[in-house]
Amino acid sequence: MLYTKLLSAAVALLAIDTSYSFGFPPPERLSRLLKATDSGEAPIILMPCCYDGITARLVAQSGFNATFMTGFGVSGANGYPDTQLVSFNEMVLAASKVAEGLSSAALENVKFGEPDYTGQPPVAIPCIADGDTGYGNAINVKRTVFGYARTGMAGMMIEDQVAPKRCGHVAGKAVIPFDEAVQRVKAACDARDEYEALFGKGTGPLILARTDSLVTDGFGKHTLLHQFVFCMRN
């Protein structure tokens, strides 16, 4: 009982005005939420992870404003460790189930089509999908972005580990060279722009660039991490 009250209080504190999101595709919804946070209009977004339809529904029905589809969770749900044994197609299938869960939760939350429908537009919370290493070369990265975009993902995280990658929480990780990492992220951004050229502004998933070089190289002025952050900012 106490846990439920504390969770409800936390959700109330983290609530963001969903009017930022009405009538926009998922990437644009996420972008508006992030801008509201960055401007100080809204608090930092608490984003629990999900890995299938039921966990996505739980996040949405609990009142959170965004979620993240975790590769660790998808791997575990399929009976594997997070060592990139799960394929691109399996991840896209998981993203489709997540999107379905978020959509159905949005309809239920406002009782859309029911006699006591409030009139408030149903808004599915945005989801960022784990893109791992992009599942291959730059062409594969582009395919991954398009695949996630078609399922309704609002964003995609891409990382600089070697393939097959390892879970970010365990030892033994290795990263690709800096220039190759930048090209991997650039390929994802190019794919986002190409998707928007085809389907309209705001439809391409936001790209989240991640580096594991802090573990492999440490932090300093001339480390890979420093170069990576500088490059992404410019």
Residue-wise pLDDT tens digits, 144-197: 999 999 999 999 999 988 887 777 667 778 888 888 888 999 999 999 999 999
Q: Compute how many other C-beta atoms are within 10 angstroms of the C-beta atom of residue 119.
A: 6
Mean pLDDT of the chain: 83
In the sheet that holds 127-130, the strands lie side by side as: 49-50, 67-69, 127-130, 155-159, 206-210
Query: How many DSSP H helices and E strands does the chain contain?
Result: 9, 5
Distance of CA 154 to the CA centre of its chain: 7
Alpha carbons 229 and 184: distance in angstroms, whole number: 15
The pLDDT value recorded for residue 226 is 60
| pLDDT (tens digit per residue) in 31-71 | 999 999 999 998 889 999 999 999 999 999 999 999 999 99
Q: What ranges in the chain are assigned the alpha helix state H?
A: 2-14, 26-38, 53-61, 71-77, 88-109, 138-151, 178-199, 213-217, 224-233
The pLDDT value recorded for residue 179 is 87
The pLDDT value recorded for residue 21 is 47
Tokens encoding 184: 């991997």
| pLDDT (tens digit per residue) in 77-86 | 999 888 778 8
